[in-house]
A and B are shown apart, each in its own frame.
Chain A
Amino acid sequence: MSAAPFDPTAPLTPSGNLRRRRLFSRFAEYGATSAALVAVAVLAIVVYSVAVEGASAISLDFLFEGAPVGIAPELVGTAELVAIATVIAAPIGVLIALYLTEFGDRRAAGPLRTTLDLMNGLPSIIIGLFIFGLIVEATHKQSGFAGSVALAIIMLPIIARGTQEVLLLVPANLREAADALGVSRWRTVLGVILPSAMGGILTATVLAVARAAGETAPLILLDSAFDGSEVSLNPFEAVPNIPTTIFRLSEEASPTGFAQAWGAGLVLLVFIMVSSLCARMLLARTRRRMAAQ
């Protein structure tokens, strides 16, 4: 028998390499904490600077008038573009999620999920180029509809994956209960599964809306040749929208344009943050309700 590696009767203060291990541990802890703080700080600084720079531009006229005073047409236009994109993407996204969780072949589900994740990572400018070739070249003009289709492609994987996650939370015993009543699968989906998951589906949709509302690259290609002085709703013409207006105003060599760009940025930022927060709250409520079962 060799001697014990330490003296069990020694005082219980750090011995051996414990001091060094402690130091490393503390180093790692501080590193992780400060990285987390950096993330919060970046968001805080961005929000703060947009708020400070943009606040001076915000006024009732700014929100309710057209160019050159305000951005009302752009606000309405962005709402319209995103609404059309949602109408296209939400049903398809929910159906994809239903295929993944309720109907699909297990072997097809994996590759389809990967496809959606890859789609989520597609650079938006490439989606813009694709739709440019598909719609703008064919119709020889930019249009809000072309922009909406591009936004729908961006929203689709977010809605599909988000809905899939929440459908997986629907308890399996509800499906069993419905099966045992001799009700067909589609009726079960409509009557039991979708209502249980509705909160989560809304969440996924709102998150996708928040993402799409700020997308700029595809709109520069597809929907930037507009006159921002009046509200124009025809989606088959170019529709004024906020992201490209921010882009255009910030390129102008005039201080008022620049201030307006900040103002429009603030409006967009507030919209996106409020809708994201609402989405999170909705999701938390859905999760609580499902956990209660």
Chain B
Amino acid sequence: MSIESTEFSQIVAAAPRRVRIQTGPLADAGTATGRPRELPVESVFEAQDVSVFYGRKQALNGVTLRIQRSRITALIGPSGCGKSTFLRSLNRMNDPVPGFRLEGQVLYHGHDLYAGDVDEVEVRRRIGMVFQKPNPFPKSIYDNVAWAPRNLGLKQGLDERVEKALRGAALWDEVKDRIKDSALGLSGGQQQRLCIARAIAIEPDVLLLDEPASALDPIATASIEDLMHSLKGRFTIVIVTHNMQQAARVADETAFFGLDAAGGEPSGALIECAPTETIFNTPADPRTRDYVSGRFG
């Protein structure tokens, strides 16, 4: 479990290069179609007029949004306005939901995420996700982090990889002496950081966080927020949060979602997206101003 071994630098060198992961085709080898569309370098995601339906109900209407590389983008807004739906559409976690249908396009590094030859397992290997409720596997702390790398064939230097991920999630010092104990014995905040460690252990390109702190107490929340600052730069992070202060504290960019009744039945829509300071100080839309100043929601 020591990081001092001489192998470590070799392992880091042998680890998959993120640049390659980011730009490689999402489909299984050999089925790539055409050249990726030219995008400004900094865009990781580009949603173009994305609408999401669950059966007959429309959850999201015409969202067009860019998400920039290596920055933290927060999605805020009242309940039921489609923030989580949008987030889960970014790594195809909505696919198993009965009746799910997406219109428009979600481009990831220029590749259409919903193209026919895209493999959703490959998508999620590059775009990790942390959920609202901590969901560690009923395994040891070590095995929770090591499980996905093992299955993806990243078996070399597994101990170091686990340690690096746990350090990255600011959990190492708390668990290093009981790494073979069950993860279910950790506190809620520790479990959530373990889930983050598990997600970053496979070195994804993007981390999607779906209200990662909403089930935690303020102290655990603060540690998750610190963690996000330290992960910034290594990963592109998209976070859904109900907590506006949290968005103000951690996010570079903030997207405000609201309910829009323009098409008859109200459905979620993007009201505006701008640098966080702008959203909180000089929002363009009166609905954003009302929300961030606490007048509704």
Contacts and interface: CB of A to CB of B under 8 A. Distances in A.
Given A179-B93, A179-B124, A191-B147, A289 B131 contact: no
Contact of A177 (B96, B122, B131, B184): B131
B193 interface: no
A181 interface: yes
Interface of B: 91, 93, 96, 98, 121-126, 128-131, 133, 135-139, 147-148, 151-152, 184, 195, 198-199, 202, 204
Contacts of A192: 137, 147
A173 B128 CA distance: 15
A284 interface: no
B88 to A, nearest CB: 10
Nearest to A170: B138
Interface residues of A, number: 22
Given A180-B91, A293-B138, A187 B151 contact: yes
B135 A174 contact: yes
B192 to A, nearest CB: 12
Contacts of B138: 174, 195-196, 289, 293
A182 interface: yes
Given A176-B131, A183-B121, A292 B148 contact: no
8 contacts: A171-B135, A173-B135, A180-B128, A181-B125, A181-B148, A182-B152, A192-B147, A293-B138
Contacts of A181: 124-125, 128, 147-148, 198-199, 202
A106 B98 CA distance: 10
A33 interface: no
Given A106-B98, A182-B126, A183-B121, A177 B152 contact: no
A195 B137 CA distance: 10
Contacts of A15: none
Q: Of residues B137, B152, B202, which shows the largest number of chain A Cβ atoms within 10 Å of its Cβ?
A: B137
Nearest to A175: B96
Contacts of A106: 98
Interface string A162-190: 00000000010110111111111101000
Q: Of residues B122, B133, B151, B198, which shows the largest number of chain A Cβ atoms within 10 Å of its Cβ?
A: B151
A173 B137 CA distance: 9
A182 B147 contact: no
B125 to A, nearest CB: 3
B114 to A, nearest CB: 16
A292 B183 CA distance: 12
B136 to A, nearest CB: 8
Contacts of A177: 131, 135-137, 195, 198
Nearest to B195: A177
B229 to A, nearest CB: 22
Contacts of B148: 178, 181-183
Nearest to B198: A181
A180 B139 CA distance: 17
Closest 6 pairs (CB-CB, A-B): A182-B125, A180-B129, A181-B148, A173-B135, A182-B124, A177-B135
Contacts of A182: 121-126, 128, 148, 152, 202, 204
A187 B151 CA distance: 7
Nearest to A183: B151
B184 A292 contact: yes
A172 to B, nearest CB: 9
Contacts of B130: 180
Contacts of B136: 177
A62 B135 CA distance: 55
Nearest to A185: B121
Contacts of A173: 131, 133, 135
Contact of A191 (B123, B129, B151, B204): B151
B122 A180 contact: no
Contacts of B133: 173
A187 B137 CA distance: 14
A206 B123 CA distance: 41
Given A106-B98, A293-B184, A180 B137 contact: no
A131 to B, nearest CB: 40
Contacts of A183: 121, 125, 147-148, 151-152
Contacts of B91: 180
A212 B104 CA distance: 56
A195 B147 CA distance: 13
A176 B135 contact: yes
Given A106-B98, A177-B135, A177-B198, 4 more contacts: A177-B136, A179-B124, A180-B128, A181-B125
Q: Of residues B121, B125, B198, which shows the largest number of chain A Cβ atoms within 10 Å of its Cβ?
A: B121
Contacts of B202: 181-182
A238 B265 CA distance: 72
Nearest to A193: B137
Contacts of B93: 176, 179-180
Contacts of B98: 106
Contacts of B121: 182-185
A173 B130 CA distance: 11
A179 B93 CA distance: 8
B166 to A, nearest CB: 16
Contacts of A187: 151
